[in-house]
Amino acid sequence: MSLYKQQLRRFAREIVKPCKHKESCTSQKRLLTNNPLPGDVVKVGVLGVPMHFGQGKPGVRNGPKAIRDAGLLQRLSDHVGLEVNDYGDLDIAHGAHVDDVSKDGNWTIKNSRACGTANKKLADAVYNTLQTNDICVNLGGDHSMAVGSIFGHSQARPNLSVLWVDAHPDLNNPTTSPSGNIHGMPLHFLLKDLENKRTPISDFDWCKSCVSSPNIGFIAIRDIDPGEIAIMKRYNIPHCSIREIDRNGIAHCMEKILDMINPSGNRPLHVSFDIDSVDPGIAPSTGTPVRGGLSYREAMYVTEEVARTGSLSAFDLVEVNPELDPKRAEATAEVAVDVITHALGLSIRDTDYRRFPHS
């Protein structure tokens, strides 16, 4: 990003729309730009979301534990200026994997009752977490949890921009989904442009559309269903496929998407990061792997640029499933930890504000 654009964003943040949470946002920006001032503390709330009803492979509900076991909290506590509050896992029922299949004419949706209930609980938890924290980190769990995390975030801090890092755009609805799994549909419930076309599902009546299509951008998509393509074209949703990343480089793509979804830098940023955006050769323990994904450094660059915006307000890390490819589950969880810590500004290159043991 050019120096001019960086300066323009800082200027816009100050004059275009003052932040309602100015004190916390100011300290957050100082940390995330690796320039904290003495006494600055950024509060990060961590929520475990053992959600698995949005897809068909057991084991993803153990994702939060796998990520914590891979050292997330220790990594965060190793840095000065960061106060971490771990609120544990949400109490989500873990009964039979498939509890209901709703059918109505031409469409099918699986586990709508369980997903709707769990997402409402998550939305309330995210809202409450952001009352006392600068950033909320949500550990999934399958990607259906984005319904609750983004809606709850929007209730605490409206006018969001959303960066969706995923092999799939998850724009299906019950009439277009090949599987009926809700982890491929979360944006159907969230996009304002689709509000009049929304499938009436009573289990999600509590969730109101809260994101406009110009303010959501996709990175690393490469497995897209026909119905999703039609939506992206119709509403001109910002995106950079993995092909465009290959052609133009991750730096160009990140600058392009961030400028499109948050041009003035004054919107709170929600990042929803599916681990399947990363190539399965690096992060194999996930339910819907697609070859040809982000390299390790590309994934880290994405989240380093998120940190540089100074706008991060909530972050989802989803679809780590330690029961798939168990021999490499730990490696997948370690990549997830790196993704989260880089998004919070704790780059592998940053040693200025690390706590080192006394010799």
Residues identified as active-site: 143, 166, 168, 170, 183, 274, 276, 319
Residue 227's nearest CA partner among 187, 285, 278, 258 is 187
Burial 324-338 (b: 16+ CB within 10 A, else e): bbeebbeebbbbbbb
Cα 290 to Cα 279: distance, rounded to the nearest angstrom: 7
Cα 11 to Cα 31: distance, rounded to the nearest angstrom: 18
Place of tokens 């989500």: 92
Place of tokens 């909530």: 314
Residue 184's nearest CA partner among 286, 96, 61, 55 is 55
Cα 220 to Cα 110: distance, rounded to the nearest angstrom: 27
324-329: which pairs have CB atoms within 8 A and are 24 or more residues apart? 324/57, 324/59, 324/284, 324/285, 324/286, 324/287, 325/284, 325/285, 326/285, 328/284, 328/285, 329/66, 329/285
Specify the length of the chain in residues.
359
